[in-house]
């Protein structure tokens, strides 16, 4: 089931000539700037290219083909309608710098998206420009810094991060010129309020949190956490990666957060695309409104226009060359319009139903929950440390063997706090039969681990490749094809 | 179980150090550390002549799953970095206390070396950590 | 309820299994005081048919004017096969290839992409994309500061002729990390950056210099002289390039004596429609010696347990999910779907096809400049060679002219008044292979009418 590289299928002179524009006069370029040898790109016919990339696609797992319970990624169904209507030729053919008079249709969609996102998050302002969750985080921390600087409080450069946080959080803090202060979680998964009180002070710029946390658990004392941080002069940042758990039930604005980033490619079902594009829209409370990244869609009566540095002179600036990932934003808009008010409530209800059902059934099947006795939000954690101890099968081995059973593995080894963990998020769009099948597979694999642990170590067996040598990949770097 | 040679000194951050006859201090990472990191794929050693202070990150060891800083235990001047690690980072996995040494420092102040954990204290720290 | 498959029986039985009376009980850990209300401003749900109608109405309002803007996003013909394949579910709804064995399609495609980009730019290694061209330049500057061990200043020279929005994004993204940006003026006659303007930096500690080719005006820079000066002065050179132009122009890996150190740019011209501004993708390539400083995902080729070749994400220890606060960047997502489009586009066109696209762009834009400068009151601003864009000087403010053209269904170009007021009324206009001669004539006729009907300034 392997596919040669496209370069290995090339032949000199072979080409897809239907794609070449009409030949004209050869361009005159200064000799010193002219390219001497052509770049090494494929030389294949159109059918060869189509066949090659179609066959490559068939080597992938995807939501459209497999149950994909990746915790913290919210792999729900990507409705085809979102793609179709976001790619209407008028939206697709529009240049971002074309006059606003020619873009009222798309701008109305974006404006309404801003308004809907404000409502579901309980925030006062929304900017759609960050192009991914990590950029949204960057915008959030940058706004917090801008806020303190505007108040001449230059000492506030410390960002508090729970030890269970996603790696982008501390990385973002560093990118914003802040230092990171980690605080430990309690054994039950909640934040240690005493540790928090000890950690805040005049150097605190803010805290980065997600709720439910990366441990899949709702921080019940979030208002107290907010009070502690606010009283110390810091602001609260909400990592919206887990918004699917509370959509329509709780709003980050109501929990006391000052800024949130959303992952439209998670909660609002825009496609994951093999690693992007994402969209990390940010929402802010009243005090951060002046600092929002630009541009933002504004409305004067029934006309829409772009708000820029003249309207927000204290903005943290532009994070993209244009106005963010418009195509992704349109897909999120269409999704939200198809869900509507009622549908927005149902998302978290069924995400929680599926997660708690799966958690209950796996616990009953003998798997160890990392936080028994807590409700799952939209995801939960299993620890396979018992299995690892008993017969040496670890989370990696289970994950690889699940692939043979036709399931994409859950997230492994995140959060770092829980040893040999699987972070499992079924999402609301999965039918019960799919969940039951997953439980059966996990049970069967556990059986295999008990009778023949070596079997798991050698998994997967039925995929295009066996387990890959990561060490060799990093030591003997082969990052680009070279002609023989 | 990891090896903890009795004659060496250690930092809580898993560096080991040996005082050589010529007064320089050789530094590497412990057997425990190399086990935790897994197969090393890349090591960056410091340039000779560089002045460092105790606690300063001087080298980086990288495996598939982690990249860690290696800290100098003493103030001083780097005398040498182990050039062999460029082509063979796995020496650290194979002989963390021998051919897998990472750097050599000429210390300004021998008392900093003496203040490091001895083998027993490091073993105790390891036991507490893995609990 | 759209997309939710549960029947009443499912719900009842699942609740019983969990041991709760109703779905509300699953939220019992959330304090009542925090529970939100009805989401009043979200409208009721639309069926797919209804939302289709809504979107069609909105689209119809915008219509499809004739496009003559470049300024960082370029209209090219995208072969039908590209998006037919990109929107296959196996590419569209796949995730980041963390489980390599289940993602060989995406991973091999990314390896092919990396291979194509290294060759196109004349460098040795590529990453698997960044968000867009502007953020790629910001990442390149941060990378240069990390990679240039000899320099301590973190001072970076930026041409005034560099895309002005890129400069703004640079300030927003890299400004918090103590980078200092200084501007190199452009020559008023040629619209390019001169080696003479670099003289004042001789002997200073400068970390890096950015060169955009073609620059924002569409003009071709003297890249060899600039690169060599920078290297002699101990600076790293960051090239910002248009990938279509690289089919005909000398790649940055061959600029000057040594070639540049980091290449980046906007990948949108490769198979991605204008899309009202995004999503696009940024690319970055570099020398092998800097590979560990390069942000973003990287795919490597290796073998599996049976010795068969396979592909996997590698050098992940640099990235946020492992290195955390010491990561090279906080980047997590890349632009996978867009890179898929770019790769298929490059495979369909090949070097010869891309060269013919580039040549056609140059031909059409030359025809456009010719036609427009015949109109009284329209002059070419700069006298140096160009790629496919040009700056035209008008005899009156540009904004009203553009509005009048828009009313005639023509998007004529980008007004440079905000960013380059020193030029006076100036219009950046572009024609690619997609503009037929009849369309260029239509623009010229319309502009002639617009300029005749209103009094000159």
Say if A475 is an interface residue toward chain B (CB within 8 Å). Answer: yes
Measured CA to CA, the distance from residue C234 to residue C157 in angstroms comes to 13
At residue A286, does pLDDT exceed 50? yes
Q: What is the pLDDT of residue C29?
A: 87
Chain B residues with CB within 8 Å of chain C CB: 41-42, 62-67, 69
Nearest-Cα distance to chain C for B21, in Å, is 33
Cross-chain Cβ contact C95/A458 below 8 Å: no
Residues 323-342 in C contacting B (C-alpha not used; CB under 8 Å): 323, 326
Instruction: Tell me which chains share at least 3 CB pairs under 8 Å with chain A.
Output: B, C
Where does the pLDDT of residue C324 fall: very low under 50, low under 70, confident under 90, or very high at 90 and above? low
CA distances from C453 to A290, C126, C456 (A): 42, 52, 9
- pLDDT tens digits along C40-81: 889 999 999 999 999 999 999 999 999 999 999 999 999 999
Q: Which residues of B touch A470 (CB under 8 A)?
A: 64
A474 in contact with B at a CB cutoff of 8 Å?
yes
Average pLDDT of chain C? 94
* Residue C457: per-residue pLDDT: 47
Task: Report the C-alpha gap between A131 and A321 in whole angstroms.
Answer: 10
Residue C285 structure tokens: 């390539």
Residues from chain B contacting residue C316 (CB–CB below 8 Å)? 64-65
Interchain proximity C385–A30, CB inside 8 Å: yes
Q: How many CA atoms lie within 13 A of A299 on its CB side?
A: 12
Across C268-293, b (16+ Cβ under 10 Å) vs e yields: bbbbbbbbbbbbbbbbbbbbeebbbb
Lowest mean pLDDT among C200-204, C208-212, C324-328: C324-328
CATH number of A345-470: 3.90.1150.10
pLDDT digits (tens, 9 = 90+) for B48-89: 999 999 999 999 999 887 888 899 999 999 999 999 999 899
Q: Does C317 touch chain B (CB under 8 A)?
A: yes
Distance CA A258, CA A81 (A): 34
Is pLDDT at A216 greater than 80 in this prediction? Answer: no
Which token pair is B20?
Answer: 């050589």
The structural domains of chain C, with segments of one domain joined by +, span 66-76+350-453, 80-345
Cα–Cα distance measured from residue C195 to residue C204, given in angstroms and rounded to the nearest whole number:
15
Which helix (H) or strand (E) segment holds residue B10: the answer is: strand B9-10
The per-residue pLDDT of chain A, averaged, comes to 93
Name the H helices within A167-283: 168-175, 193-199, 222-231, 252-255
Type and span of the H or E element at C343: helix C336-373
Q: Which residue has the higher pLDDT, A18 or A290?
A: A290
Asked if B62 and A470 come within 8 Å (Cβ–Cβ), the reply is no
Residues for chain B: how many in total?
131
- pTM attached to this predicted model: 0.94
Query: Which residue carries 């492992």 as its tokens?
Result: C322
Q: Which CATH architecture has domain A81-339?
A: 3-Layer(aba) Sandwich (3.40)
Judge contact between C393 and C381, C-beta under 8 A: yes
Q: Does C292 reach chain B within 8 Å, measured CB to CB?
A: yes
- Mean pLDDT of the region C256-285: 97
Give the residues across from B69 on adjacent strands: B60
How far apart are alpha carbons A109 and A126 in whole angstroms? 14
Distance of alpha carbon A444 from the chain centroid? 31
pLDDT tens digits for range C119-154: 999 999 999 999 999 999 999 999 999 999 899 999
Least CA distance to B41: which residue of chain A?
A: A475
pLDDT (tens digit per residue) in C369-395: 999 999 999 999 999 999 999 999 999
Q: Are A163 and A210 in contact (CB under 8 A)?
A: no
Q: Where in chain A is the domain with CATH 3.90.1150.10?
A: 345-470
CATH architecture of the domain covering B9-122? Beta Barrel (2.40)
Query: Exposure of A447 by Cβ count < 10 A (0-12 exposed, 13-18 middle, 19+ buried)?
Result: exposed
Question: What are the beta bridge partners of residue A126?
Answer: A283
How far, rounded to the nearest angstrom, does the alpha carbon of residue B62 sit from its chain's CA centroid? 14
Domain with CATH 3.40.640.10 in chain A: 81-339
Assigned CATH topology for domain C66-76+350-453: 3.90.1150
**C-alpha distance across the termini of chain B, in Å:** 13
Residues 6+ apart with CB under 8 A from C304: A465, A466, A467, A468, A469, C101, C310
| Multiple choice CATH, C80-345, 3.40.640.10, 3.50.40.10, 1.10.3720.10, 3.90.76.10 | 3.40.640.10
* Position B129 pLDDT exceeds 90: no
What residue spans of A77-221 are helical by DSSP H?
80-86, 89-92, 104-121, 133-150, 168-175, 193-199
Question: Which residues, listed in sequence order, are joined to residue B106 by a DSSP beta bridge?
Answer: B77
Counting beta carbons within 10 angstroms of the beta carbon of residue A483, is it exposed (0 to 12), middle (13 to 18) or buried (19 or more)? exposed
């Amino acid at each position: 089931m392997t596919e040669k590289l496209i370069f290995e299928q090339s032949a000199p002179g072979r080409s897809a000539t239907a794609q070449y524009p009409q030949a004209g006069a050869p361009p005159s370029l200064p000799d010193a700037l002219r390219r001497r040898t052509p770049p090494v790109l494929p030389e294949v016919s159109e059918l060869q290219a189509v066949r090659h990339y179609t066959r490559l696609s068939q080597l992938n797992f995807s939501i459209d083909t497999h149950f994909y319970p990746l915790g913290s990624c919210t792999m729900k169904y990507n409705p085809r309608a979102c793609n179709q209507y976001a790619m209407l030729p008028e939206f697709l053919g529009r240049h971002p710098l074309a006059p606003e008079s020619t873009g009222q249709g798309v701008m109305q969609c974006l404006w309404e998206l801003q308004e809907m996102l404000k409502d579901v998050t309980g925030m006062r302002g929304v900017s759609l420009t960050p192009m991914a969750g990590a950029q949204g985080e960057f915008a959030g921390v940058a706004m917090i810094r801008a806020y303190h600087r505007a108040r001449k409080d230059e000492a506030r450069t410390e960002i508090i991060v729970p030890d269970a946080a996603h790696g982008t959080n501390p990385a973002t803090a560093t990118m914003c010129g802040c230092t990171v202060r980690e605080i430990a979680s309690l054994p039950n998964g909640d934040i240690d309020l005493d540790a928090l009180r000890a950690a805040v002070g005049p150097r605190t710029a803010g805290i980065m949190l997600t709720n439910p946390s990366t441990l899949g658990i709702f921080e019940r004392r979030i208002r107290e956490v907010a009070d502690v941080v606010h009283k110390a002069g810091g602001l609260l940042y909400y990592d919206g990666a887990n918004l699917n758990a509370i959509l329509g039930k709780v709003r980050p604005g109501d929990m006391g957060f000052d800024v949130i980033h959303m992952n439209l490619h998670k909660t609002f079902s825009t496609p994951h695309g093999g690693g992007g594009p994402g969209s990390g829209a940010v929402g802010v409370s009243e005090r951060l409104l002046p600092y929002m990244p630009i541009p933002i869609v504004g409305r004067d009566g029934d006309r829409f226009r772009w708000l820029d540095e003249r309207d927000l002179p204290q903005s943290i600036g532009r994070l993209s060359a244009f106005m963010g990932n418009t195509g992704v934003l349109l897909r999120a808009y269409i999704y939200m319009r198809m869900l509507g008010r009622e549908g927005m409530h149902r998302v978290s209800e069924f995400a929680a139903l599926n997660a708690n059902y799966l958690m209950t059934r796996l616990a009953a099947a003998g798997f160890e929950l990392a936080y028994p006795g807590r409700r799952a939000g939209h995801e939960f954690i299993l620890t396979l440390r018992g299995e690892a101890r008993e017969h040496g099968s670890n989370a990696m081995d289970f994950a690889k063997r699940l692939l043979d059973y036709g399931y994409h593995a859950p997230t492994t080894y995140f959060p770092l706090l829980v040893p040999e963990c699987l972070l499992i998020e079924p999402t609301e769009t999965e039918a019960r039969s799919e969940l039951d099948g997953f439980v059966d597979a996990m049970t069967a694999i556990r059986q295999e681990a008990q009778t023949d642990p070596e079997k798991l170590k050698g998994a997967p067996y039925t995929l295009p490749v066996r387990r890959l040598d990561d060490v060799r990949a990093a030591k003997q770097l082969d990052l680009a094809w070279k002609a023989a | 179980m990891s090896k903890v040679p009795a004659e060496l000194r250690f930092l809580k951050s898993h560096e080991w150090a040996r005082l050589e006859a010529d007064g320089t201090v050789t530094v590497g990472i412990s057997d425990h550390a190399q086990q935790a990191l897994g197969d090393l794929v890349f090591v960056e050693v410091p340039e000779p002549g560089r002045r460092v202070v105790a606690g300063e990150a001087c080298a980086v060891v990288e495996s598939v799953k982690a990249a860690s800083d290696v800290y100098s235990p003493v103030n001083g001047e780097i005398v040498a970095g182990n050039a062999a690690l460029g082509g063979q980072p796995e020496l650290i996995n194979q002989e963390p206390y021998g051919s897998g040494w990472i750097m050599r420092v000429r210390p300004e102040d021998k008392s900093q070396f003496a203040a490091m954990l001895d083998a027993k204290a490091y073993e105790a720290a390891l036991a507490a950590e893995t609990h | 309820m759209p997309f939710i498959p549960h029947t009443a029986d499912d719900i009842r039985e699942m609740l019983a299994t969990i041991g709760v009376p109703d779905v509300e009980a699953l939220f019992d850990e959330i304090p009542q005081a925090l529970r939100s209300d009805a989401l009043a401003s979200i409208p009721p749900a639309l069926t797919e048919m209804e939302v289709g109608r809504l979107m069609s109405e909105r689209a119809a309002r915008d219509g499809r004017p004739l496009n003559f803007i470049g300024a960082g996003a370029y209209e090219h013909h995208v072969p039908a096969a590209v998006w037919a394949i990109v929107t296959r579910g196996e590419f569209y709804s796949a995730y980041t290839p963390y489980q390599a064995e289940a993602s060989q399609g995406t991973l091999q495609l990314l390896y092919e992409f990396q291979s194509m980009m290294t060759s196109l730019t004349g460098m040795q290694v590529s990453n698997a994309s960044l968000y867009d061209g502007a953020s790629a330049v910001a990442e390149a500057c941060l990378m240069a500061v990390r990679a240039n061990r000899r320099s301590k200043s973190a001072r970076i020279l930026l041409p005034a002729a560099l895309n002005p929005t890129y400069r703004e994004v640079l300030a927003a993204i890299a400004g918090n990390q103590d980078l200092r940006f200084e501007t190199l003026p452009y020559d008023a006659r040629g619209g390019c950056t001169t080696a003479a303007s670099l003289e004042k930096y001789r002997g200073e500690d400068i970390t890096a210099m950015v060169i955009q080719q073609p620059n924002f005006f569409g003009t071709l820079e003297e890249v060899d002289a600039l690169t060599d000066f920078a290297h002699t002065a101990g600076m790293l050179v960051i090239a910002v390039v248009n990938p279509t132009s690289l089919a005909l122009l000398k790649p940055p890996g061959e600029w000057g004596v040594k070639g540049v150190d980091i290449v980046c740019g906007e990948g949108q011209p490769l198979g991605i429609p204008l899309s009202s501004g995004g999503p696009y993708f940024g690319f970055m390539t570099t020398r092998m010696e800097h590979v560990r400083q390069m942000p973003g995902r990287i795919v490597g080729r290796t073998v599996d347990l049976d010795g068969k070749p396979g592909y996997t994400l590698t050098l992940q220890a640099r990235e946020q999910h492992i290195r955390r606060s010491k990561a090279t960047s906080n980047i997590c997502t890349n632009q996978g779907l867009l890179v898929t489009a770019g790769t298929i586009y490059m495979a369909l066109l090949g070097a010869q096809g891309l060269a013919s696209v580039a040549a056609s762009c140059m031909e059409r834009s030359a025809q456009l400049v010719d036609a427009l400068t015949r109109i009284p009151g329209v002059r070419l601003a700069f006298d140096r060679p160009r790629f496919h864009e040009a700056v035209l000087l008008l005899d009156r403010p540009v904004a009203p002219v553009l509005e009048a053209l828009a009313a005639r269904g023509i998007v004529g170009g980008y007004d440079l008044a905000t960013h380059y007021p020193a030029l006076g009324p100036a219009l950046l206009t572009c024609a690619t292979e997609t503009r037929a001669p009849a369309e260029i004539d239509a623009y010229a006729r319309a502009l002639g009418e617009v300029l005749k009907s209103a009094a000159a300034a």
